[in-house]
Amino acid sequence: MPPKPVNQGQIDFWFDFLSPFGWFASLRLEEIAARHGRATEWHSMLLGVSVLKVMGLKPLLETPLKGDYLRTAAARYARRHELTFKTAKGVPPISPLPPARAFQWAKVHRPEIYKRFGADLYAAYWRDGRNIGDTEIIAEIGANHELDGQALTDAITSNEMRELLRGEVDASLDRGVFGSPFIIVDDEPFWGVGTLEELEAWLDGGGW
Amino acid sequence: MPPKPVNQGQIDFWFDFLSPFGWFASLRLEEIAARHGRATEWHSMLLGVSVLKVMGLKPLLETPLKGDYLRTAAARYARRHELTFKTAKGVPPISPLPPARAFQWAKVHRPEIYKRFGADLYAAYWRDGRNIGDTEIIAEIGANHELDGQALTDAITSNEMRELLRGEVDASLDRGVFGSPFIIVDDEPFWGVGTLEELEAWLDGGGW
């Protein structure tokens, strides 16, 4: 087979704010994409919907054996990559809906900064252990990007954003997305932060 | 932290003959271990027991979304690494018990060749699409290693091997093993063929 041409379509990146591995991937994705001349689009999704409702599985961290492994593996990843990381015990339990809806709102209304807003929400949670389920904290983070606090607050409970997020989650399921991080480029799916090397090799035009 | 000293304990490697990713890992493990001066021990386990009974999950390939992903990812891995690979549709459905018990017998009685016997069983299934649930085929593969065909045949249905394999599976669960491939070295667990790079970095004495 001839090598695949590089610099084709965009990289689609799905993540759940509750997923530390999604955060880890988000920290490397833009650099990887830029190095290969690819655009990215970030999509927030809800693991609870895909894992619980569609796959019929338990929440990952509550699954015997696997939950312990994922905690160990996340902490080890953070040490290896020298990340300040709160671990699942160090972050407040939150609903992922408020940050996901706020992110969705920024994506629609401030597309030029929505990824950085998402990155800041993510870091506030997993790096700083802040309660990003709290509307005031979301608004404070949004203010760093000159997002209108009232509009953001309204968006979190609006039917419009509820429907938009629901649509994003449905669309993710249609694409076969079931985990976080989940990346699709050139119709090739890559699940897990452990596949970033494989993704890079793909973007290098491996041809397989 | 100071870097961890290299060349410590052995690498424990768990696999299920039904797992193509376990096969992929087995093809690289010995070379990785040798390069880092580590011994290896291979352990056959039964994903059906851990995944179904302990974790309460569905079989992986029957799990919505994830099953499709794993099929795609396995085929892609094989293309990338230029492996002849039958895919899950190209291999006969088998019980993993006969090859696992035969492997267990070889491990006890012919420890100097048991890994190569396991490797040959694995290749017969995933590379050649042979029915390694069939006692005669197992005996034929064993003959290449001068394993006694009758002893091997008897072992597959013996209480002794049934108990020994059950003990290995229980031991794997005690170690937190829930997938294939699963590797533990220096008390650090590595799940999935995608973690082999991380394992290598660990063996290089990363110190994280």
Q: What number is the ipTM of this complex?
A: 0.90
The answer to whether the CB atoms of A65 and B55 lie below 8 A apart is yes
CA atoms within 13 A on the CB side of B188: 23
Query: CA A28, B68, A206, B22: dihedral to nearest 10 degrees?
Result: 90
Write the residue in A66, A197, A198 that is nearest to B178 by C-beta: A66
pLDDT value, residue B64: 84
Chain A residues with CB under 8 Å of B180 CB are none
Chain A residues at the B interface, defined by Cβ less than 8 Å, are 50, 54-58, 63-66, 68-69, 72-73, 76, 79-80, 173, 176-179, 188-189, 191-192, 194-195, 197-198, 201, 206, 208
Write the residue in A76, A179, A194 that is nearest to B194 by C-beta: A194
pLDDT in 10s for each residue of chain A, 208 residues: 445 444 579 999 999 999 999 999 999 999 999 999 999 999 999 988 877 777 777 777 788 889 999 999 999 999 999 999 999 899 999 999 999 999 999 999 999 999 999 999 999 999 999 999 999 999 999 999 999 999 999 999 999 999 999 999 999 999 999 999 999 999 999 999 999 999 999 999 877 8
The answer to whether the CB atoms of B69 and A191 lie below 8 A apart is yes
CA–CA distances in Å: residue A180 to residues A123, A145, A172, A177, B191? 16, 25, 11, 8, 16
Beta strands in chain A (DSSP E): 11-15, 40-44, 182-185, 188-191
B207 pLDDT tier (thresholds 50, 70, 90): confident
Q: What is the pLDDT of residues B13-58, one digit of tens each?
A: 999 999 999 999 999 999 999 999 999 999 999 988 877 777 777 7
The answer to whether the CB atoms of B76 and A194 lie below 8 A apart is no
Write the residue in B76, B80, B191 that is nearest to A69 by C-beta: B191
Q: What is the DSSP string of A51-107?
A: IIIIS----GGGSTTHHHHHHHHHHHHHHHTT----HHHHS----SHHHHHHHHHHH
Position with higher pLDDT, A50 vs B172:
B172
CA–CA distances in Å: residue B33 to residues A138, A198, B47, B106, B203? 48, 22, 24, 21, 9
Chain B residues with CB under 8 Å of A64 CB are 54-56, 178
- Tell me the longest C-alpha to C-alpha distance in chain B: 54
Chain B residues at the A interface, defined by Cβ less than 8 Å, are 50, 54-58, 63-66, 68-69, 72-73, 76, 79-80, 173, 176-179, 188-189, 191-192, 194-195, 197-198, 201, 206, 208
